[in-house]
């Protein structure tokens, strides 16, 4: 495989799915931390966790992808603009090059359903790979419910 034109991605498992997050948006991975529920948050937001001294919204990635709530044994913290979001995933598999030529847009039938979360689809080791939009994981209107007073905007 020619990786010269590949972008590095963090590969995670979310239930039976493989997901890729562009490495440029990943801040860190860590064990799951305690999460405090937030009233009025979207169904896929577990609540807030204190990460590095700041409240960070925690997204249940399984629910975000339309599955039942995941176990989320690991957190992957990503940047969303100037903010951070922690994604609860089942496991972190590592960093891999994902060649741009191996990725495809969502089929027209699925574009309406997944365009907000899934940027592209592809194959990795003969398994379906979902490339997630780092900047669209938490809608703008959800930040009000997920931010504590004094949190960085």
Whether 83 has a pLDDT exceeding 70, the answer reads yes
For 6-136, give the CATH class. Answer: mainly beta
Q: What does the mean pLDDT of the chain come to? A: 81
For residues 111-133, average pLDDT: 76
Residue 1, both tokens: 């495989």
Q: Per residue in 51-70, pLDDT tens? A: 999 999 999 999 988 888 87
Would you kindly state where each structural domain of the chain is located, as residue ranges? 6-136
Q: Quote the DSSP letter at residue 8.
A: E
Residue tagged 């039976």 (tokens): 16
Which of 148, 151, 134 minimizes the C-alpha distance to 61? 134
For residues 18-36, average pLDDT: 95
Which of 133, 122, 128 minimizes the C-alpha distance to 6? 122
């Amino acid at each position: 495989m020619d990786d010269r034109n590949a972008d590095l991605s963090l590969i995670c498992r979310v239930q039976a799915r493989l997901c890729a997050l562009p490495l440029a948006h990943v801040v860190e991975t860590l064990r799951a931390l305690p999460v405090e529920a937030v009233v009025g948050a979207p169904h896929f937001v577990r609540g807030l966790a204190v990460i590095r001294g700041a409240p960070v919204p925690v997204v249940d990635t399984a629910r975000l992808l339309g599955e039942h709530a995941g176990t989320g044994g690991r957190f992957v913290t990503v940047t969303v603009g100037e903010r951070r979001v922690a994604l609860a995933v089942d496991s972190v598999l590592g960093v891999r090059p994902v060649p741009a030529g191996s990725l495809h847009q969502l089929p027209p039938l699925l574009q309406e359903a997944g365009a907000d979360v899934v940027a592209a689809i592809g194959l990795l080791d003969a398994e379906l790979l979902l490339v997630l939009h780092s900047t669209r994981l938490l809608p703008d209107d959800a930040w009000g419910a997920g931010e504590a007073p004094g949190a960085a905007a």
